[in-house]
Structure 1
């Protein structure tokens, strides 16, 4: 980011906060799906839960300017449809003019901070349906972690169901990211990525709310994806995550899963914004090619 743009951004935030709402109202928007039926979105809602690590770099996402630089690079690449983020990130991008003509998805529940005693209590601490509608965004995304050993799961289920209904009332897409959760030896919550666990999580997620007409699913790439995706007829986007293997292994798994009939595209954050060689443009272009 050029120094002048950064100074303008910070001065606007300090002296003219109303500019955020004005930028949202003036922004050219586009429908969620174009005739190609495919989507590539960049995810940037990790910092709002204090999740700053990427692979072996514990503070990779600590610099906001560094994150914005990478997001600007990604959003400028041909074939990138838009971004998923929390208000702080999306408002920076709005003021920088980076969301013109893009799909924008607001992240809603960021309250379950990893490593805390309240981690599974994924309360809605960011966007709600009304603010997503007011900002003229396309959708709201919510995390649904189901831990059979933690009673806080019940309030997360209820919160997600209410959010699905509220978004549908406004004709907005609800993007639900479900996981079945177990506890590791140290008591930490661990996403259960076995196919049977994912099938169970999807079954619950797609039944939330008064209607599923506007519900999409956000699904990690796991073993036996064919069986996993047979659990639902709802549109789905693949979750890029922070894969442990090489980029080549990751891209191969994405390419295979993208062939499944309900899969409409990919939402990737850390894997594209912080690739091992730090070449964001090349990583994004590779993902675009897979679509």
Structure 2
């Protein structure tokens, strides 16, 4: 990984803040889908929700230079189409020149902070549809966690529907990541059972006045054999999400096999994966990314 000098980025930010907008304006763009019709996106939007942990290390993602080095390496690998991140990380990557000819997806709602009492009231604190258009970005992503016992989920559901409308009006794809969630000992847990994932996809597919620009960002169920039935819930194009595989190489290999099987399904168009590739158990980011690209 090429070392990142934080001091250089901070100097540009402090002396020439307009450089971020200038880099965005001259960035070479590309279609969302290339010739192969598949997407390989690296996700890096966890930190703005206060979720900094990986593999039991609570602050693993807190070192920005280290995170940027991993991202730049991942984005440089053949077959990687782009990145999903919050504005601060995208600004850093723009200044580093790492987003040329890449799909850039802005993470739109990060208000439901990890561990907060208001976690399910997930306000839209990131870029809005018109912000993505203004910056020349290519898509947006929103998280939709629904807890039937938490009234804050209704606020999130309504604001998500309006965001879908705004993105459609701008003709920008929006990737909706839905979960049925519940609190266990005070912590929010996502239900990855087949029935829960199927229900969440059905709810997400119906958001807004049109689904023409909506994609689904879908977890692989606990039992991968259930994915065929789960993905029959919608005709919307979908990508698979990753997650934290911890320090166990066996879990990493199991994740690859689940992705390989699910990628054969007719509505699945690719992968949007972050921690499993940026922080693999063996530390080899390039090899992890190349393996994931090979699955496509």
Same fold (TM over 0.5): yes
How far has the Cα of 1:2 moved from its partner? 5.7
Contact 2:72–2:98 under 8 Å retained in 1:
yes
60 and 290 in structure 1: CA distance in 2 versus 1, 3 angstrom threshold: same
Task: Tell me the SS of whatever aligns to 2:239.
Answer: strand
Deviations 1:135-192 (A, max 9, x none): 11111100000100000111101111111110110110010000001221x1221101
Alignment counterpart, residue 249 of structure 1, candidates 242, 247, 254: 254
Task: Tell me the SS of whatever aligns to 1:246.
Answer: helix
How far has the Cα of 1:47 moved from its partner? 0.2
82 and 228 in structure 1: CA distance in 2 versus 1, 3 angstrom threshold: same
**Equivalent residue number for residue 163 of structure 2:** 163
Contact 2:5–2:65 under 8 Å retained in 1:
no
C-alpha distance in 1, partners of 2:251/2:119? 29
TM-score when scaled to structure 2?
Answer: 0.96
**Equivalent residue number for residue 194 of structure 1:** 193
How far has the Cα of 1:4 moved from its partner? 7.7
Gaps of 5+ in 2: none
**Equivalent residue number for residue 99 of structure 1:** 99
**Equivalent residue number for residue 259 of structure 1:** 264
169 and 163 in structure 1: CA distance in 2 versus 1, 3 angstrom threshold: same
Deviations 1:69-94 (A, max 9, x none): 00000000000000000000000000
* Corresponding position: 1:230 with 2:232: yes
How far has the Cα of 1:3 moved from its partner? 6.3
Deviations 1:217-245 (A, max 9, x none): 00001121111100010000000111365
3 and 239 in structure 1: CA distance in 2 versus 1, 3 angstrom threshold: closer
Which portions of structure 1, spanning 4 or more consecutive aligned residues, are displaced by more than 6 angstroms? none
Gaps of 5+ in 1: none
C-alpha distance in 1, partners of 2:251/2:95? 35
TM-score when scaled to structure 1?
Answer: 0.97
**Equivalent residue number for residue 218 of structure 2:** 219
123 and 253 in structure 1: CA distance in 2 versus 1, 3 angstrom threshold: same
C-alpha distance in 2, partners of 1:2/1:288? 21
How far has the Cα of 1:216 moved from its partner? 0.1
Equivalences, count: 290
Task: Tell me the SS of whatever aligns to 1:120.
Answer: coil
